[in-house]
Chain A
Amino acid sequence: MEFSISGNALKTFARSIICLARVGNELVVQASQTQLGLHTLNASRSAYQSITFQSSFFDAYTVSGPQAHFSVLLKAVCSVLRTPVASIDHMSVQLPDHDASKVKWALECYSGMKKTYWITCNVEPDIQHLSLDRGRFPSSMVVHPRNLSKLLGNFQSSLQEITIIATDQTSFPSDAASEIGGKAVEFRSYVDPTKDGDSLLHTQLWIDPSEEFLQYTHAGDPIDITFSLKELKAFLSFCEGCEADIHLFFEKAGEPILMAPKFGLGDGSSSSFDATLVLATMLVSQLQEGVMPEPPVAANSTDGHAAEQVGSEPQERSRQSASEHPSDHTRVWSELSGTATKSVNGSEERPQAQGQPDVNIQRIRDMEISKGGPAGDNAPGPSNSQRPTQMDHAEGSRVRVENNQSFSQRHPSNWVDASEDEDEDDGVDATPPHNEDY
């Protein structure tokens, strides 16, 4: 198998490798007569990325026999691409024969230097293949990557997982305020309750899809998905570099989330390559059935200082208070911010979605990946379930917190009622005002 690439295609290829290297360690290359597929799966099997190039993407592309495949370490390929792409005239990759032990990567640089790398192939490549039919996901959103990066910029950079809560734009309870077009989507920082509570900052972001997203589709009950942010950020860089929007497909907690670049119309490059990132999502839903999302648990820190500092930023229409968010959650949340007089008490019936620390919550599930399979297999049967396993640990499924979750973490001093002196409101300007009349 041999291919040769230069110019903008080389830039895209380099960008693809960098993105893959941020997801997994091993690169699997599968070359058929018509296309080249690059895949990687991360070690915890919770993220899978695949990038496929049509043969027309390359300056030259030949495969002897029906197909060829090999697997190398992504770190090694990144070493090859250490040379700045702008100084490379062209690159060629060659696998001499099917059982060759090394793959040859040759760079011809404008400076006149010729660099030839031989990368050892992994002996027993773990060739996984995952393909999901995008049509099976009922909900989706399309966002400009710069915009999504900006929204994610509201969260602390060390945040590892994020929860997206999607609600139906068209439905709102009859008692909502008259302003419609509510913020149907919420981004929320996910804090692992089992880890030490050194994450004192929780962030919630309510988003109006019609303002921030290019497209948004969700019907029916609200759903939430929690997944890793690291791979999403890598994929965002990738999409931004390719000048494509990012298209996210999702269903509900526990089902994977799929992302792909969405090219504009008339973009010639769209026909020659495609990329997919599939992330497993947490089984545990942050929502309770029938009840709207709970506010995140205050950090387990016992020091009563700013544990409740929430940086939540409603979007432009600040007049739209959270109360028109069609949910009890928001009203409860607003109480937490202290502007309501109703104090939060440790009412037992208010469940916590975070689960108890002592329950062994199985979080992100392994995705069932089918072994082998030719590239381009697009129709998974039910037996070939690509969905994260849901059956493994019963206690991991939707956990309903019982009352052993004491509210000691909700130290009374956290709450700002009218009697308190703390000027929490002054600092937390961004909390959605709900009771105030503007």
Chain B
Amino acid sequence: MSSSPAIEPDAPDLVCQLDNVQGMVDALACVRWKRHQDALVELSEHGIVLIVEESGCLQAKVYLQRELFTKYEYGAEGRPRFGISLGLLVDCLNTFSSPGHSNTIEIKYPGPDMELLLKSVDTLNSCIYSEIRTRLPETSAWDYNFEQAGSAPLTFTVKSSALKEAIDDLEWPGSSVQISLQKSPPCVTFRGEGHGDLQIDLMYYANTDLLLAFHCDTEVSYRYKYKFLKATTANIPGNVVRENRGSKLTIGRGGMLKVQHLVSVAKALAPQVESAGYQPPSRIAYIEFFVKPEEPDD
């Protein structure tokens, strides 16, 4: 599946095939929190990365490694980048996907006018074909430069459905949420204050199902804007909940929050086979969110 060593000058930068469009739709929809979002796509021989950003405070990345694809022919020199409308891309990909089926799609870049070309390749007597306009990326994506907070990482892994539930509940109090990690007893606390207060405690020892991992050697506490936190869980696809996956949260230097989800892109297998851990790691898309903390006000 590697590209031929002699690269023809007019060979496309990338031709790849994916045998489950719905998986890609799920992964990309995860980073959709507004109607109109511009995404930056970067192609490399390792895979496709899509980056979305908002107001310098929130960034999301979707990693689709080449192992997810059934065919991945990379013919570019360097790493081509282009801008594309995320909503348009997701909605367009959605049209290739029919419920209950795993549909195979071929993605090619660039088209004659630098478009992104999508084509269905699994039906013999019909074809869906689409071209999506792309843009020159104006700026590079912010490098959030996530660094470890101290000598040891401050991180916990929580069941994704529980995280989503907690963040949904935190809509009521107010506009900012404080996340605190406490060493002993090991505990994560989400707290929102406003016209009412809400505190959600996740104790490590309360239930082995809830906090799947917890590392904290110093107590920390940072505030984040609710709407950005909400964006990190608002569109978690259903299969993440069904497969009982965990989401990993890490607090880096300066309070930068990293939220990671795993979204399965594999073909829908028989139900008894589908469960966390049965998926070969390469059939998983990685979603990362970076959230800047609010300035501490005294």
Contact = CB atoms under 8 A, between A and B. Distances in A.
B166 A76 contact: no
Contact of A112 (B169, B198, B199, B206): B206
Interface string A252-285: 0000000000000000000000000000000000
B136 to A, nearest CB: 45
Contacts of A117: 196-198
Nearest to A115: B200
Interface in B195-209: 195-203, 206-207, 209
Contacts of B209: 111-112
Chain A interface SS verdict (over half): strand
Interface in B155-213: 159, 162, 165-166, 169, 172, 195-203, 206-207, 209-211
B116 to A, nearest CB: 41
Nearest to A116: B199
A82 interface: yes
A120 interface: yes
Given A112-B203, A113-B201, A115-B199, A83 B162 contact: no
Interface string A103-128: 00000001111111111100000000
Contact of A113 (B162, B172, B196, B197): B162
Interface centre among A76, A102, A113, A119 (most CB of B within 10 A): A113
Contact of A115 (B159, B169, B203, B210): B169
B202 A120 contact: no
B246 to A, nearest CB: 13
A79 B202 contact: no
B70 to A, nearest CB: 38
Interface in A61-119: 76, 79, 82-83, 102, 110-119
A112 B195 CA distance: 26
Contact of A116 (B201, B202, B207): B201
A196 B113 CA distance: 59
B210 A111 contact: yes
B199 A113 contact: no
Nearest to B172: A79
A119 B166 CA distance: 18
A150 B171 CA distance: 37
A117 B198 CA distance: 4
Contacts of A113: 162, 165-166, 200-202, 206, 210
A77 to B, nearest CB: 10
Interface in B208-225: 209-211
Interface string B240-272: 000000000000000000000000000000000
Nearest to A78: B172
B196 A111 contact: no
Interface size class of A (residues with CB under 8 A): 10 to 19
Contacts of A82: 169, 172
A112 B202 contact: yes
B145 to A, nearest CB: 32
A104 to B, nearest CB: 9
Contacts of B203: 112, 114
A115 to B, nearest CB: 5
Contact of B169 (A76, A83, A119, A120): A83
B126 to A, nearest CB: 44
A23 to B, nearest CB: 21
A114 B196 contact: no
A118 B200 contact: no
A111 B160 CA distance: 12
Contacts of A114: 200-203, 206
B191 to A, nearest CB: 9
A117 B172 CA distance: 10
A110 B206 CA distance: 9
A102 B196 CA distance: 8
Contacts of A120: 195-196
A4 to B, nearest CB: 18
A29 to B, nearest CB: 16
A115 B198 CA distance: 7
A116 B166 CA distance: 12
Interface in B121-176: 159, 162, 165-166, 169, 172
Contacts of B211: 112
B201 A111 contact: no
A150 to B, nearest CB: 36
A30 to B, nearest CB: 21
A112 B207 contact: yes
Contacts of B198: 115-118
Nearest to B208: A112
A174 B248 CA distance: 83
Nearest to B211: A112
Interface string A238-262: 0000000000000000000000000
Given A82-B169, A83-B169, A113-B162, A102 B197 contact: yes
Contacts of B206: 112-114
A251 to B, nearest CB: 42
Interface centre among B166, B199, B202, B210 (most CB of A within 10 A): B199
A114 B211 CA distance: 13
Nearest to B206: A112
Given A83-B169, A113-B210, A119 B196 contact: yes
B162 A111 contact: yes
Contacts of B210: 111-113
5 contacts: A102-B197, A111-B165, A111-B210, A116-B199, A120-B196
Interface of A: 76, 79, 82-83, 102, 110-120
Given A112-B207, A115-B199, 18 more contacts: A76-B196, A79-B169, A79-B172, A102-B197, A111-B159, A111-B165, A111-B209, A112-B202, A112-B210, A113-B210, A114-B201, A114-B202, A115-B201, A116-B198, A116-B200, A117-B197, A117-B198, A118-B198
List the 10 shortest-distance A-B pairs measured between CB atoms, nearest first.
Answer: A112-B207, A112-B206, A112-B210, A118-B197, A79-B172, A114-B201, A116-B199, A115-B200, A119-B196, A117-B198
